Structure 1
């Protein structure tokens, strides 16, 4: 379960950036094509945060849809998997969104 190591990294980064202050809320941006399960992150986050300044912090997860740009016609299309076909018939797509995993915001206090 790679979500455990991801959640642990998120907690470590937040604790470091909080400089000893209590972390109240963490907002994560997770792309739907990232192969990261939001519910597993939510569970692992609470486990990893125990006995740190992040313990008890609310975790908000924003799921970002997958999007690709057609390299043949330039159209942007939604994709649920990391491949697909444009309305123009081309399968030459460049993923532009949906693979990200980042800490969007952290609230301390």
Structure 2
């Protein structure tokens, strides 16, 4: 389960940021998870809950925003959101391969909510 190591990396970044606000309490961490990133959101949330248990960050919530795939056709340059992440025929020209991924590969912290 590589989501645990990703949760630990997120934790390290969050702890570094929280050091800048010593009197603050972390309420929420918001993460963007692209459909092609290969991360199972529920496993990432579980990992976050496990590694923050019995720490000053216990009770904080990891919110994962799912980012859909968006591609640009390699033939006609039509931008579209495929229904399947393995089979992506262009709705205009029918080309199935050679598309440029515009979104959906990202995994990033979007923000923190602190009190």
Same-fold call, TM > 0.5? yes
Note the 1:17-96 alignment, pairs <5 A.
Answer: 17-19=17-19, 20=22, 21-79=24-82, 80-81=84-85, 84-87=88-91, 88-90=93-95, 91-96=97-102
For 1:52 and 1:66, the matched residues in 2 are separated by 35
Change (3 A) 1:58 1:68: same
Normalized per residue, the structure richer in strand is 1
Unaligned runs of 5+ in 1: none
- Count matched residues: 109
For 1:13 and 1:83, the matched residues in 2 are separated by 35
Unaligned runs of 5+ in 2: none
- CA-based RMSD of the aligned residues comes to 1.5
For 1:107 and 1:30, the matched residues in 2 are separated by 18
Q: State the 4+ residue runs in structure 1 displaced beyond 6 angstroms.
A: none
Larger Rg: 2
Change (3 A) 1:85 1:7: same
Note the 1:5-20 alignment, pairs <5 A.
Answer: 5-19=5-19, 20=22
Shift of 1:53: 3.5
- Length-normalised TM-score, structure 2: 0.85
> What's the CA shift string for 1:40-73, capped at 9, x where partnerless?
0010001111243322112211101011101211
